[in-house]
Structure formats: structure tokens, C-alpha cells
Structure 1
Amino acid sequence: MMISLVLGGIRSGKSRWAEQQFQNKAGLKPVYIATAMPSDEEMEQRIAHHQALRNRSFDTHEFEFSKEQLSEVLLAYTAQNRPILLECMSTWLGWWLCTNKPFEQQLLDIQQQSSDLLASLDAIDGDLVIVSNEVGLGLVSDNAMGRRFADELGRLNQALATKADKVVFISAGLPLVLKES
């Protein structure tokens, strides 16, 4: 069993690197849990690009934010002994911040969902690669939503890194191993 966390910026190569971790592995076909949902034409193009790259290498589970709990989806595939690629924590978290709920309720929802996700990692008995954006290297956002997103994603990434056996930072397509058990 190995839980890996792959961090990087936009177009850093983190998705490609994460997908390569499943090449040449015998056993069940890995499942790709995709958390992005199309919100506009440009996002549809990004999603199509990712779908074309992974092609038939993975069985894809398109996560439905309003109907599913991420922790339950992970545990269901773990029960099948499926290796899992979970992408991306930043899009998953971003949807919680777009719920039209009051700020305090959004934070409670994020904290509960994150807590459930982190607890589910203790039950993972297989390979799991989690992809997330590293947004803490840039400037502090000029708006409350941007600052809230960066703060919550930073907290989630830190908690995931604590649980992970391996943490890799990708920059310009190159991996830098930050943690390896």
C-alpha cells in the first residue's frame, strides 16, 4: 500500500507524472477519480485534454459534487482493491467555495468533508495517488474568495502530506521528492 501526494502548479506536469506511476503495473486496471466539472467552455477543453491523455489506461469515475461524498467513493474502489488516481484536490475544494452558502457554513462543510476524506485514507489498502495544486508560492490574492481558497487548500495539502507515504513536488515536469517513507 502506498499513498502518494503530487503537488505542483498549473501546467507543471503533475498530472502526467501521477499517471505514469500506474504504467507497467500488473493487476486490476486503475481508476481515475476526476473531480473537475465543466463550468465554462475553457474548462470543458481542459477536461477533454486530460481525458484524451489518459485514454484507456484508466477506468474513469467522474465525481459528482452534489451527489457523492469523496471519502465514500474512495472507500468503494478500495474495497475492490483498485489502484486509484484522485485528481484534483484543488478543483474538489473549489466547488465547496462556490456553493452560495454563507462563509461560515462553507468553512464547516469544507472542514467536515476534508476530515471525512482524511479519515478514509486510514482505510486505504492499495495504491492511491492524489494530485493537488500548490498555490502557496504566489502572491496573496486581492480578494476574499482567493485568499480563502489558498488558505483552505494549503491546510488540506499539509494534512494530506502528513498522511502520505510519499510527497512529490513537480515543477517544469521534473519531480522533487519532498517525503518518502
Structure 2
Amino acid sequence: MNSRDLTFVLGGARSGKSAYAERLAASNARPVTYIATARIAADDDEFAQRVEQHRARRPEHWQLIEADADLAGALRGADGDDRCILIDCLTLWLAGLICPPDGAALSGDACAARLNAFEAALAEARGKVIVVSNEIGLGVVPLGAQTRHYVDELGRLNQRIAALSTQVTLMVAGLPMIVKPSSAPK
């Protein structure tokens, strides 16, 4: 089942995916809720600066929700026929589930339940939803079991969200490439 209006924006690091998703959200007539998924470790000043750059770019009138592990709950709480919801990004949300800054990772079953709940919330969403994620599976197979596990899980999650989406855009060097809808067989 497809969400009425679900756009999935993928790309590599610094590909322009967040800025593009923000332009999509700003171009619609609906009020925007920005759901941020980043959790900043207390000693990570560089990452805090990245988050601040995102904050500075967003219009002040956008509502902000800082989601925790319950991204499905954040989405459901913000959803409505007259809303636009921008979720940025699945990459950081999944990292927070698998490798949280506090070290209290969810069990495999609990993590799967969070992923399933988020997918269900997207399928039921009534408003316009824009989801951002990194495409990290284009390189070599990473060294280390934990890194391979993360890359595999993000790849599977991206596939699930792309299947639900009415539009998928891949950002390459700041340029949007429409991947879906396409005429390719399913």
C-alpha cells in the first residue's frame, strides 16, 4: 500500500539530499513539521556544528520534533491531511537504534519492531511525507561485522521505504535524479 504522498530522497554524504528535501517541503502550501533523528554525543562538537547548519537553513515557522527511537510515534503525532512532514534522516535514526551514543542498543527483535512500526506509520500517513536517507551501499563491502550489519540493515530499510514511496529521488552532486516513478517492471 502506498502512502498518498510519500517522497523518498536518497544520496551520499554531501550530495544535497537534505537541502533538496527542504526545498520540496517549502514548495508545498501545507504547514511543515521537521522530524530530526540525530542524537548528538556530548563530546561531538563537529557533529553538533553539522546539526546547527541544518537548523540555520530551516525556516523558523516550521515545527520541529526531535525523534527518539520511536520514529513511528513521532510521525503519527505530526501527521494530518493538511500537513507536510520532513524526516531527516533514516541513516542517523537507524544508527541510533543499532549503535546509540549511550551504548544501550536495542535487541534484534526490538529493533525490527521499531522498523516495522515506522513502515506501518508511513503506509498509514495521510499528509505529504518526505523521508531522507543515505545511500551507503555503493562502495566496497565494509570491513568489520558491525559495519557490515549496519550497511545491510540500512540497505534493507531503504528498499522497504522505496517500495512504499510514490516518488524516489537519488541526489548525485546536488542534482536530483528521479528513480521512481519509472516504467521499469516491479
> Amino acid of the residue matched to residue 156 of structure 2?
R
Equivalence for 1:161: 162
Paired residues of 2:33 and 2:84 also in contact (CA < 8 A)? yes
CA RMSD of aligned residues (A): 1.7
In structure 1, the residue corresponding to 2:133 is in which secondary structure?
A: strand
1:110 to partner: Cα distance: 2.1
User: How far does the alpha carbon of each residue in 1:129-175 deviate from its partner, in whole angstroms, 9 at most, with x for none?
Assistant: 00000010012111122111100000000000000000000010001
Q: Which residue of 2 aligns with 1:134?
A: 135
Measured after TM superposition, the shift of residue 97 of structure 1 is 1.2
The aligned counterpart of 1:5 is 8
What's the CA shift for 1:101?
5.7
Partner of 1:176: 177
* Unaligned ranges ≥5, structure 2: none
The answer (yes or no) to whether the contact 2:81–2:127 under 8 Å persists in 1 is no
Distance 1:128 1:92 in 2: 16
Distance 2:81 2:60 in 1: 19
Deviations along 1:39-71, one digit per CA (max 9) or x if unpaired, are: 211110110011011132521111134xxx111
In 2, distance between residues paired with 1:80 and 1:60? Answer: 18
- Partner in structure 1 of residue 36 of structure 2: 34
1:92-131 to 2 correspondence within 5 Å? 92-99=93-100, 100=103, 106-131=107-132
Matched, 1:58 2:70: no
Asked if 1 retains the 8 angstrom alpha-carbon contact of 2:81 and 2:126, the reply is: no
TM-score (norm. length: structure 2): 0.87
Is the 1:166–1:177 contact (alpha carbons within 8 Å) kept by the matching residues of 2?
yes
Q: Report the TM-score when normalising by structure 1.
A: 0.90
Deviates more, 1:127-136 or 1:16-25: 16-25
Contact 2:78–2:85, Cα closer than 8 Å, also in 1: yes
Say if 2:22 is the partner of 1:19: yes
User: Which deviates more, 86-95 or 69-78?
Assistant: 69-78
Q: What secondary structure does 2:121 align onto?
A: helix
* Shift of residue 24, structure 1, vs aligned partner: 3.5
